[in-house]
Chain A
Amino acid sequence: MTADVDAAITRAHREQWSRVVATLARRFGDLDVAEEMAAEAFATAVERWPLDGVPPNPGGWLTTTGYRKGIDRLRREGRRDAKHQEALMLSGPAEPLGAVDDDRLRLLFTCCHPALATETRVALTLRMVGGLTVPEIARAFLVQESAMARRITRAKSKIAAARIPYRVPSREDLPGRVAGVLAVLYLVFNEGYLASDPEQDPIRSDLTAEAIRLTRLVRELLPDDGEVTGLLALMVLTEARRTARLSAGGELVTLGEQDRGAWDRDLIAEGHALVRERLASGEAPGRFQILAAINAVHTAARDARDTDWSQVVALYDQLVRLDASPIVRLNRAVAVAEMDGPDVALALVDGLPLEGYHAFHATRADLLRRLGRSAQARAAYDRAIELAGNTAERAYLTRRRDQLAP
């Protein structure tokens, strides 16, 4: 019985938190009140549900409870400004679901507003939309809990004082703003994919799972946006390889050396279906869709030797036309090495302005190793190890360096 109730509360938190916050934010016109009242509603559920039973509509119950608590608090504080009066005058929160879904989208766009600093957008999105607690977010990004709390509080006061609007951006602004939301979700995912901090686990499945969950939500809300679908495909195709990316000894395993039998077939099937959906649309793909297609090519090969490298290089060529940044050119060179050989790739890599980027040195090291230039490879490995934050990647690079011919 108690275990059932616990499970119901956990599920309600996972499934309903963003709906509850989003609806309350619109009702009260205040993110701070919405967040606190949502938290109080869940605390009340923890008290009441074991005694009264789980309500038939947990989301509705939580929203109503949060709404009543908000009204009580505003009355208690005697707040009478126009916005709060307006909130008091609105009818009870039993509304059709369509409006609620729009609220979650509003919430997401507000949390990812371009007037907020990037790390603030990430933190605010994880708190308000993802429902992570402040200590959880602080741990995820290794900052002091008090510092994270201050960052979130400052963001909420800026949203209120500068009047960052609670709405889906206008049609003309929408593409840019969706891109901003996706950038935040991709940041969260990447921090989980390859944790940058040596104090953390090398792969943070909590963060990748949360990023995928939020991206699924965005896709539910914006099903026709190709880049949303592309990002979800990219994430699930990457997540499918998660367990194969780490050896028993805690070393990162490169794509070519992974045990492909350990890949998650269901996630790969889902990712491939999403990529096919985008190809069928006939629309020109954006960056995430191209990256997803590259991952689809990799995950379609049963053996690393069967990889269709010409297809991968062609997709990177397409990506370079959209984004000719040095990092994209570096990744393209890795694919070129498989098709045209390490010497051709090295010529492309040398001279890229990525001196401070560990993957640049790791790529050079690998190419130099394959060309038998051990001394130069060793120096490149040294530099890559020095710059890499991820422990599993360091372990892999260190072994590779120590295996070099003297």
Chain B
Amino acid sequence: MAQYLVSVLDDRTGSGTDDEMAAIDVYNDQLRADGHWVFAGGLGGPETATVIDARHGEAVFTDGPYVETKEHTAGFWIIEAPDLDVALRLASEGSQACNRRVEVRPFL
């Protein structure tokens, strides 16, 4: 079994509707029932991010995201799947549930 990060791409924050939330709940339950669930969560928007650089001793904090992009990660799943075909199928269902584009990347 391998683990995959499924990131949800969005260009707004807090844009999820009640219907989308309900669909995500159903999807999460299915992931758990089928043994694919590892973890999932929604993230605050880029404006809530703080960048920390402690490489040179004392930590320096910077307000805002490291890179300004049009799209950001609004949330993510970590799923377990035997191969990419299964991960792609699960991610497609996830994309449908949250009504957003998602990106799949394997953990090494």
Q: Which A residues contact B (CB, under 8 angstroms)?
A: 113-115, 161-165, 169-170, 173
Q: Contact at A115–B83, with CB atoms within 8 Å? A: no
Q: Are A163 and B108 in contact (CB under 8 A)?
A: no
- B83 touching A163 by the CB < 8 A rule? yes
Q: Is B88 a contact of A115 with CB atoms below 8 Å?
A: yes
Contact between chains at A163 and B106 (CB < 8 Å): yes
Taking a contact as CB atoms under 8 Å apart, the answer to whether B106 and A162 are in contact is yes
* Sample (9) of A-B pairs whose CB atoms are under 8 Å apart: A115-B84, A162-B106, A163-B87, A163-B106, A165-B82, A165-B83, A165-B85, A169-B85, A170-B85
Please determine whether A163 and B2 come into contact, CB atoms closer than 8 angstroms: yes
| B contact residues around A115 at 8 Å (CB) | 84, 88
Complex: A114 Cα to B104 Cα, angstroms: 13
Report B59-101 residues with CB < 8 Å from chain A CB. 82-85, 87-88
Give the number of residues in B that approach A within 8 Å (Cβ atoms): 11
- Dominant SS among interface residues on chain A: loop
Q: How far is the CA of A162 from the CA of B3 in the complex (A)?
A: 9
- Structural contact, B108 and A164, CB atoms closer than 8 A: no
Distance, CA A115 to CA B82, complexed state (A) = 16
Which residue of A has the minimal Cβ distance to B81?
A163
Do residues A161 and B83 form an inter-chain contact, with CB atoms below 8 A?
Answer: no
Q: What are the residues of chain B within 8 A of A162 when measuring CB–CB?
A: 84, 87, 104-106
Chain B positions within 8 Å of A169 at CB level: 85
Docked pose: A115 CA to B103 CA in angstroms: 11
Min Cβ gap B96→A in Å is 16
Closest residue of chain B to A165 (Cβ to Cβ) is: B83
Task: Looking at the assembled complex, report how far the CB atom of B12 sits from the nearest CB atom of chain A, in whole angstroms.
Answer: 28
Q: How far is the CA of A141 from the CA of B99 in the complex (A)?
A: 38
Instruction: Determine the residue in chain B with the shortest Cβ distance to A114.
Output: B88
